[in-house]
Amino acid sequence: MSNTIFGREDLKKIKGIGDKLADKILEGLGGEEELTRLVENREVDRLTQIDGISQRKAIEIINSLLGDPTPHFLKGEGAQRLYEDIIDKILPYANTQYSHNRILLLHPRKDPEWIKKHIQMVIDSKKTVQKLPIKQIRKLLKKIKTPKEPKPKFNPARAILTEKEEEYERLIKMGLNRYHPILIKPNLTELKEYELIIYVYSDGLFEVEGAHNIIMVHSGAEKHQIIPETVLDYFKENKKLLKNLLTLRRLLGWETVLEEIMNILEELEESEETQDIDKIVNTIKSEADEKLEKLIKKIKLKGEEILNLLDDGTTKKIDKIFEKVIKEAKEKLKNETGIDFNPYIRSYPLKIDEKELKRAEQIKFSKEITKTFDKKVEAAERLSKLKTQLEKEIKEILEFDYKLALGCFAAKYKLQKPQITNKIKLKKALHLNLIPKEDKENIQRIDYKLDNKENVSLLTGANSGGKTTLLETIAQTIILAQMGLPVPAKEAQIKIFDEIHLHSKEKTLNAGEFETFLKRFTSTIISKKQKLILLDEIEAITELEAAVKILSTFIELIKNSKSYAIIVTHMAREITKEVNVRIDGIEAKGLDENYNLIVNRTPKMNYLAKSTPELILKMLHQKSNGKTKEIYAKILEKFK
Q: What does the pLDDT read at residue 614?
A: 59
CA distance 117 to 95: 23
| Listed ranges 27-31, 163-167, 405-409, 463-467; the one with the highest mean pLDDT | 405-409
**Which helix (H) or strand (E) is 285 found in, with range?**
helix 277-297
DSSP-based three-state secondary structure for 583: strand
CA distance 220 to 51: 31
Q: What does the pLDDT read at residue 508?
A: 46
Residue 311 has pLDDT above 60, yes or no: no
**Confidence band, pLDDT 50/70/90 cuts, at residue 449:** very high
Q: What does the pLDDT read at residue 74?
A: 93
Residue 634 has pLDDT above 90, yes or no: no
Q: What does the pLDDT read at residue 596?
A: 58
Residue 179 has pLDDT above 60, yes or no: yes
Residue 595 has pLDDT above 70, yes or no: no
Q: What does the pLDDT read at residue 40?
A: 84
Q: What does the pLDDT read at residue 310?
A: 52
Q: Across-strand partners of 534?
A: 502, 566
**Confidence band, pLDDT 50/70/90 cuts, at residue 512:** low
Q: Are 482 and 497 in contact (CB under 8 A)?
A: yes
- Give the residue with greater pLDDT, 181 vs 210: 181
Residue 610 has pLDDT above 70, yes or no: no
Average pLDDT over residues 511-531: 76
Q: What does the pLDDT read at residue 404?
A: 97
Average per-residue pLDDT for the chain: 85
Q: Are 435 and 486 in contact (CB under 8 A)?
A: no
Question: Phi first, then psi: what are they for 298, rounded to 5°?
Answer: -85, -10
Average pLDDT over residues 395-412: 96
Q: What does the pLDDT read at residue 422?
A: 94
Q: Following DSSP, what letter does each residue of 326-356 receive, concatenated?
A: HHHHHHHHHHHHS-----EESSSS-EE-HHH
Q: What does the pLDDT read at residue 323?
A: 85
Share of the chain above pLDDT 90, in %: 44
- Give the residue with greater pLDDT, 504 vs 79: 79
**Which pTM value belongs to this model?**
0.78
Residue 69 has pLDDT above 50, yes or no: yes
Burial class (CB in 10 A: 0-12, 13-18, 19+), 207: exposed
Residue 57 has pLDDT above 50, yes or no: yes
Q: What does the pLDDT read at residue 72?
A: 86
Average pLDDT over residues 33-58: 86
Q: What does the pLDDT read at residue 43?
A: 84
CA distance 288 to 485: 78
Q: Across-strand partners of 216?
A: 199
Share of the chain above pLDDT 70, in %: 86
Q: What does the pLDDT read at residue 239?
A: 94
**Confidence band, pLDDT 50/70/90 cuts, at residue 426:** very high
**Which helix (H) or strand (E) is 197 found in, with range?**
strand 196-201
Q: What does the pLDDT read at residue 302?
A: 58
Residue 639 has pLDDT above 90, yes or no: no
Q: What does the pLDDT read at residue 494?
A: 96
**Confidence band, pLDDT 50/70/90 cuts, at residue 519:** confident
